[in-house]
Amino acid sequence: MLFPTVEYALFFLLTLGIAWPLTRWLAWHNGFLLLVSYVFYGFWNWAYVPLLFGISLFAGLVAQRIQRSTQAVVRKAWLVFGVIVCLAVLVYYKYTGFLLQNLLELWRHVGKPPALQLESPLLPLGISFFVFHAISLLGDVYREKLKEPVRIPDALLYVAFFPQLIAGPILRASDFIPQLAKSPDPQAIFVNRGLMLIVIGLVKKVIISNQLAVALVDPAFAAPQALAGPDMLLAVYGYAVQIYCDFSGYTDIAIGCALLLGYRFPDNFNRPYTATDPQDFWRRWHISLSSWLRDYLYIPLGGSHGGRWFTSRNLMITMLLGGLWHGASWTFVIWGGLHGGYLMVHRLWAALPWFTRLRTSIAWRWIARLLLFHAVCAAWVFFRAPSLQQALDVFARFSVSGPLTLAGGSVVALLLLGLAGQYAPARWHDALEREFCRWSAPMRGTAFATVLFAIELLGPSGVAPFIYFQF
């Protein structure tokens, strides 16, 4: 079930209408949310609901074992066991074909590999996200960030809660499970903030992301050989805006829906293309994943506590695995490797004494922004291209002169809007929210319907799946 659909609108209105009256009975309320989360997931494929249930039940049971164990060794053993099982499930579903394919490729170098009929399992929707939620539960319990005893129904709902189930944001168990301990307050719902996020998310997804995909990015990346440099460059910029609007649009809608249900999700994007260095970028882009990787991978590897090269190694491992998390393909690994390289270079660069003085100047901040944006765009080429050769073909086209043939004025305007939106001051959002608070409920309902109607008119027919659904 995609967010910008009639099906989801009906599902969500029904869920809201039933969930709020149920807040008087906590167990029934949470049970109801769990049930609708499974219905939401089953809309894609009922056959995989048992997998979702099984992995969250397993994580809940192992988390309980960790909490009940008093010996450090036993706690660690349960943690390792739990993480291995969760990762094994992820590897089986997501990487079987990729691993076997590469194993046979390696085999070729030492001899003739056997003739095999390979078949990889069907990839369950959102598996990368719900496995990471399960691991987060184990990690937070092990580190005692989650003090409350884990209840199995809460563990099930934490992993399966529908607004974040398919594409995040990746919630921390220690942030979300305490919210389940009591019913949301029916007298304090952030209605305006939630509705504004839903509207902003729809504008990003339906109007900007979809239009850019259809008119510019998809045709360009399908056959870069047919295009000259200006088209290809615009398409790469277009993809940078498309993927931001697509993914942050999804996140906005997810956070907005959760707010209307009375739950708070963490921010997942914070104007990433205004970042001035790679570290800053990763504090602004897919924040829930980058902080997850930092806390559960980079820091356990040793983080930055071991000298320059040790830190660089840890950064590179984290980013390579972060790339692989996105998809079973070498292009994602290269994307992660590039970002790992950017982070390493920046660390070395930032340590230079003269750089500290330079970085404070306004001129340098804009130069840095521009440089970083282009470095990020270069990495997006590998993220978007279906193969390494295709990515190289895209770069090769930059040097070919020719006219701009792909984009009309409206496409360029949308591209600029997607970029300019990053520089909109946060206070505008706050002022708008305060203004809406002065309006009566029927007025706001009318305004919300009118804006949705306008979005529907302005978007292209059909709604593409969110890019991050494939991960």
Contact between 300 and another protein by CB under 8 A: the answer reads no
Contact between 433 and another protein by CB under 8 A: the answer reads yes
Contact between 432 and another protein by CB under 8 A: the answer reads no
Q: Which of 134, 137, 213, 391 binds another protein (CB under 8 A)?
A: 213
Please state, in angstroms and rounded to a whole number, the distance separating the CA atoms of residues 349 and 331: 27
The sign of the CA dihedral 383, 414, 212, 399 is: negative
Pair of tokens at residue 53: 């249930």
Please state, in angstroms and rounded to a whole number, the distance separating the CA atoms of residues 8 and 4: 7
Contact between 116 and another protein by CB under 8 A: the answer reads yes
Measured N-to-C along each axis, helices 49-68 and 127-142 cross at an angle, to the nearest 10 degrees, of: 10
Q: Which of 2, 61, 417, 419 binds another protein (CB under 8 A)?
A: 2
Contact between 264 and another protein by CB under 8 A: the answer reads no
Which of these ranges, 26-34, 67-75, 129-137, 448-456, lies near another protein under the rule CB under 8 A? 448-456
The minimum distance between CB 357 and another protein, in angstroms, equals 42
Respond yes or no: is residue 339 known to be catalytic. no
In degrees, to the nearest 5, what angle opens at C-alpha 167 toward C-alphas 40 and 178?
A: 80
Which of these ranges, 6-14, 51-59, 61-69, 421-429, lies near another protein under the rule CB under 8 A? 6-14
The minimum distance between CB 227 and another protein, in angstroms, equals 8
Q: Which of 108, 182, 305, 427 binds another protein (CB under 8 A)?
A: 108
Q: Interface residues for another protein in 152-211 (CB under 8 A)? A: 185-193, 195, 206, 210
Q: Which of 297, 400, 404, 417 binds another protein (CB under 8 A)?
A: 404
Contact between 305 and another protein by CB under 8 A: the answer reads no
Please state, in angstroms and rounded to a whole number, the distance separating the CA atoms of residues 271 and 305: 30
Pair of tokens at residue 314: 């840890």
Do 246 and 459 touch, CB atoms closer than 8 A? Answer: no
The sign of the CA dihedral 79, 173, 93, 317 is: negative
Please state, in angstroms and rounded to a whole number, the distance separating the CA atoms of residues 126 and 38: 13
Give the three-class secondary structure for 8: helix
Contact between 39 and another protein by CB under 8 A: the answer reads no
Please name the residue that has the structure tokens 């099906």: 7
Separation of CA 106 from chain center: 32
Which of these ranges, 80-88, 336-344, 384-392, 415-423, lies near another protein under the rule CB under 8 A? 384-392
Q: Interface residues for another protein in 220-259 (CB under 8 A)? A: 222-227
The sign of the CA dihedral 428, 418, 40, 328 is: negative
Contact between 61 and another protein by CB under 8 A: the answer reads no
Q: Which of 123, 134, 232, 243 binds another protein (CB under 8 A)?
A: 123
Q: Which of 136, 411, 415, 421 binds another protein (CB under 8 A)?
A: 411
Among residues 287, 292, 356, the alpha carbon closest in space to that of 318 is found at: 292
Q: Which of 59, 66, 125, 234 binds another protein (CB under 8 A)?
A: 125
Torsion angle, alpha carbons of 336, 339, 341, 345, to 10: -170
Which of these ranges, 84-92, 293-301, 362-370, 454-462, lies near another protein under the rule CB under 8 A? 454-462
* CB count in 10 Å sphere of residue 154: 23
Q: Interface residues for another protein in 65-94 (CB under 8 A)? A: none
Contact between 16 and another protein by CB under 8 A: the answer reads yes
Which of these ranges, 12-20, 69-77, 278-286, 345-353, lies near another protein under the rule CB under 8 A? 12-20
Catalytic residue among 326, 346, 374, 429: 326
The minimum distance between CB 434 and another protein, in angstroms, equals 7
Please state, in angstroms and rounded to a whole number, the distance separating the CA atoms of residues 235 and 241: 10
Q: Which is nearer to another protein, 345 or 396 (CB)?
A: 396
Q: Which is nearer to another protein, 139 or 327 (CB)?
A: 327
Among residues 204, 303, 315, 292, the alpha carbon closest in space to that of 255 is found at: 204
Q: Which of 64, 120, 270, 279 binds another protein (CB under 8 A)?
A: 120
What would the 3-class secondary structure string for 402-429 be?
CCCCCCCHHHHHHHHHHHHHHHCCHHHH
Active site residue ranges: 326
